Amino acid sequence: MSENIKICPGYKFVGVASGLKKAAGALDLALLLSDTPAVAAAVFTKNRFPAAPVIYGRKLLAAGRDLRAVLINSGNANACTGRQGEVDVVTVAEFLAAALQLDPQEVFISSTGVIGEPFPVTRVLRGIESLLAELEQQVAVSAALTRAARAIMTTDKAPKVIGIEVETSQGTVTLTGLAKGAGMIHPDMATMLAYLLTDAKIDREIWQAMLQRVVSQSFNRISVDGDMSTNDTVLALANGVSGCSLTNPVDLDLFETALLQVANALARMIVKDGEGATKVVEITVTGAANLADAEKICRTVANSALVKTAFFGQDANWGRIIAAVGYAGVELDSSLVNIDFDQVRVVSGGVRDPRYREEAGAAVLRQAEFSVKIDLQSGEDEFTLLTSDLTHEYVSINADYRS
Residue 188 has pLDDT above 60, yes or no: no
Residue 185 has pLDDT above 60, yes or no: no
- Provide the percentage of residues in the chain whose pLDDT is more than 90: 81
* Radius of gyration for the alpha carbons in the chain, expressed in angstroms and rounded: 22
What pLDDT does 190 receive?
44
290 and 263 housed in the same domain: no
126 and 223 housed in the same domain: yes
- Average pLDDT on 310-320 reads 94
Distances (CA, A) of 201 to 2, 39, 57, 262, 370: 27, 8, 22, 18, 39
Residue 363 has pLDDT above 90, yes or no: yes
Residue 232 has pLDDT above 90, yes or no: no
Residue 289 has pLDDT above 90, yes or no: yes
- Enumerate the β-bridge partners of residue 129: none
Tell whether 84 is covered by a domain.
yes
Tell whether 2 is covered by a domain.
no
**Residue 4 pLDDT grade (very low, low, confident, very high; cuts 50, 70, 90):** confident
Residue 400 has pLDDT above 70, yes or no: no
268 and 286 housed in the same domain: no
218 and 97 housed in the same domain: yes
246 and 291 housed in the same domain: no
Query: 147: part of which helix (H) or strand (E)?
Result: helix 141-151
How far apart, in whole angstroms, are the C-alpha atoms of residue 130 and residue 124?
10
Residue 123 has pLDDT above 90, yes or no: yes
Residue 353 has pLDDT above 70, yes or no: yes
What pLDDT does 228 receive?
60
Structural contact between residues 256 and 217, judged by C-beta atoms closer than 8 angstroms: no
Return the C-alpha torsion angle 336, 341, 342, 345, nearest 10.
-50
Annotated catalytic residues are 191
Q: Name the percent of the chain in helix, strand, coil, to the closest 5.
A: 35, 25, 35
21 and 166 housed in the same domain: yes
Structural contact between residues 121 and 151, judged by C-beta atoms closer than 8 angstroms: no
pTM across the whole model: 0.89
Q: Determine how many CB atoms are found less than 10 A away from the CB of residue 177.
A: 26
Structural contact between residues 18 and 126, judged by C-beta atoms closer than 8 angstroms: yes
pLDDT, tens digit (0-9, with 9 covering 90-100), for 55-64 = 999 999 999 9
Which residue type does 374 have? I
Instruction: Tell me which of 214, 242, 272 is where a domain ends.
Output: 272
- Average pLDDT on 172-183 reads 90
